Chain A
Amino acid sequence: MGRRDRPLVAVLLCATLAALAVAATMSNLSVQLPSALWLEAAFRPDIGDMRQVLVHYAFLPRLAVSLLCGAALGLAGAVLQQVLRNPLASPETVGVSAGAYLALALATLAAPALLAFGREWVALAGAFVALAAVLALSWHKNLSPLSVVLAGLVVSLYAGAIGAALVLLNHEWLAGLFIWGAGSLGQQDWVTTLWLLPRLGIAALAIGLMTRPLTLLGLEDEGARSLGVPLGIYRFAGLGMAVALIAVVVAAVGVIGFVGLAAAALARIGGGRRFGQRLILAPLLGAALLWAADQAVQLATGPQGDLLPTGAITALLGAPLLLWLLPRLSLGGELPLLAAERLPRTGRPGILLAVIGLALLLLLAFALLCGPGPDGWSFAFGDQLQPLLSWRWPRVLAALSAGAMLALAGMMMQRLTGNPMASPEVLGISAGAALGMMVAMFSVAGAGRPLQTAAAAAGAFAALLTVLAIGRRAAYAPERLLLAGVALTALFDALILVLTATGDPRAMLLLNWLTGSTYGVDPGSAVLTVSIALCLLLAAPLFIRWLDLLPLGTPALRSLGVDVAGTRLLVLLMVAVLTAASTLIVGPLTFIGLMAPHLARRLGLARALPQAIGAVLAGALIMVGADWIGRTAIFPRQIPAGLVATLIGGPVLMWLLRRR
């Protein structure tokens, strides 16, 4: 073993983090208790002295939990990266944390009895369902790093949308769920620590025993198979143990954002070339990271400060980290996919499009005329219709335009990136719009809708500039752009978590918009949205030739004499404007951009022009339908249209992308 094999940087980093953490810990502790009493408080606390009780039963267990959870997440990250052969795999990026969280939230609300049976089992079930979904979604891309991470993000977003639905419908009862979900490490006894120890210990031991076979998994399949290792079993066992670690952590303290990714990636970049080294370095780095982060949070809030969930704070730091990591990891190129797919092709796209168009018209009429009222369901005609229509048409038209624009944006993104999981939601523009709206809402008291809209547009534009600035260095390579978008989206999610955990009522307003409600659309903004949509849709034919060519891949494009970077930039700009305009109406989470193009493709619309028209019609159809269901299903309450579209869209998407 030569000098080059020693992961000096990682060790140094770990030592630095630990030193910082020790300093912060000392500082926090001395605020609570004079140093002369520290030893006594740690081992023989005087129960009569509240300060000693707090140190013994709150401060120290919190410290222990932060170390344990950080180490567990780091270990899980390292194993996931090894097993999936993906330098970006982590508890957050493969959707496992989100799945575990959602399962626990659902159980809390719907079946508390399940929790008595064991939180970890509920979390584990959710984590596995999420992982299975992610793997299924990225299977036909051979689990390539980027497709796994994109699928993971989509699954996380999906779980987040369902979580938002729960909150919107029961908000007063879920405040506690926010605090836990956002990763609050606060402790008031040693129960959680003692609960975590054996569970994490068993999983870590199992991983330790599998070190050798797991190391071999890093080799190419053929190489490992020739050594006589039953790969499948170890791959599955390694995955299972990593997921178990994550599920236990989520069950105990909620979602701790990005510690797993950071620890595993730093272990790798810091010089941990061999898996065995990373297996030790990653947990150490994870523990040091979370320890330092948690002490820093306590330092910032002080002993009586408002609750600031550590998990959400680490997620805030995670996004810039991800951006920094991107150029430093080799991810391998993505193969163009859409052109190679064997999908049905219709010979007569015209008839098919006419049928979808007709269906859209019928649905429009239905959505405008039919609905429940105080006296039950009715079709409104004549005099009755007039007042109802004035409420219904702006919402229906806005939903229609937004659905159409998102579908077109998604179709362009998928052709641009050659990735079936690409959609405007993951480009970060929606998150930027939401961020802008958040700033307006919290910095200006009583910000009206016009101001909020302007702020959202500014946010979308700022996010676009950020993403483009990142992409410029890589000649707008789609993979980099998508990951930059992922990072921005994660940053935004973290902010939302922090806000909701403090119980600020304005967070509810934001959440309502986030989940895509067309409630606030008035005739003016409806007409504006329709006009924007029309302009953009009419500009779309200019892009059609490029969209037909883009899936062929960069070399083919160059040989055809296409200015690759320039084309990508123009397509991206178009996508950004489409996304920003529609996000303002239906919020950032709809999955229309993901779903509609696949639907059109599945129906046999292969070339760019018919696919674009088909996707636009399908997107409009789904969105109008979702808005109608949202307005009527639990009358007089309403479910945001974007949320309905998401709930319908998830299963539909799984079906569309199922392995062929």
Chain B
Amino acid sequence: MWDTNEQMAADDLARLQLDRLQTMVGRVATHVPFYRNKFKEDKFDVASLAALDDIRRLPFTSKQDLRNNYPYGMFAVPLRDVVRIHSSSGTTGMATVVGYTQNDIDTWSNLIARILTAAGVSTHDVIQIAFGYGLFTGGFGLHYGAEKLGASVIPISSGNTRRQIQIMQDFKTTALVCTPSYALKIADVMMDQGINPNGLSLKFGLFGAEPWSEKMRQEISERLGILATDNYGLSEVMGPGVAGECQHCNGLHVNEDHFFMEILDPATLEPVDPGQVGELVITTLTKEAFPVVRYRTRDLTRLLPEPCPCGRTFRRIERITGRTDDMLIIKGVNVFPTQIESILFDIEGTQPHYNLIIEREHNEDKVTVLIEVVESIFFDEMKKQRTMVDHIKKRLASELGVGVHVKLVEERSLERFNGKGARVIDKREL
């Protein structure tokens, strides 16, 4: 175990949470105008926060609230105290910007070290981080935590699978960090190259940043010969490190000393019965630069109330089973169909009709956008027509952060749906 908090007794944890919650709520009331105004509107008196249950009187924070305060409106400290800035994927204006103080980075590193330890990784391991480094929290989040743990870190970042494998062989990598689909991609390429994964030093795989299934876990474990664990986080709350599985692979321990979790019915916003599926709502307890109160993650999960044989007392949640909104995770990138809609609207000058088809081919997500042709994007010259298709493709790719195929189809050939989610045809079987 990385630290003693992980075995806290329930009442000690509750006391610590309340103490931290009171401090945090007091801070946001003072330093974040968004919360100050909300509290005022709701006539919420900070001093009245006397028990953990009182959290239910606090307002929610949505992704839209964060967007409305782009870029720095939700920061609770001046920029001079911020040492790191990350951003969620999304077009400008759609993106959310998050900041970290030095203390935040230290906490984050500690929580990642916890998750790595829980998954079996130690100071003796060589850890290959194949998450993208950059504005995405995955790469740097894992990196600092792995250094904190004292493992040997290979900051290879994402992509170039053959090189990943070469380095895995030469540097004797023992732990792999990436998305689960990328792990399978690596296994495929190894097979193509005639490399036997059992000849590698690989023992552990820590996977996150996209939804996956028990079936995928089994496949990854068998094909790469590793212990595959799940971890969870989101940049709005911190990044990876919010929750992670131990070696029992039976759900993710939530780092409850730093995050207060609620699982609510997304319709009524009332707590679901323990063990029932609901939306995960998270309140940060210790974040300095970017605290959030009752952040609606839109992720669906359920509480696993039984104690875990590993001895950690932090409660577990089941792997994320879905979303309450239409957000898609494609190659680890968050994509909202509305983004596609607004880009197409911009190009066509009219309400676009499109379908988004997502398939998984050779363990890689393939996205095809079917677009109904309208006069503004139709030309009698083939050269111009193809240039237009390329133009649409490039804009979608650059603004979504993920490559797409574009296919033009005849007008009125796509089904007309009510509701946004229906424009998406997700054929991936996880």
Partners in one complex: no
List B residues at the A interface (Cβ < 8 Å). Answer: none
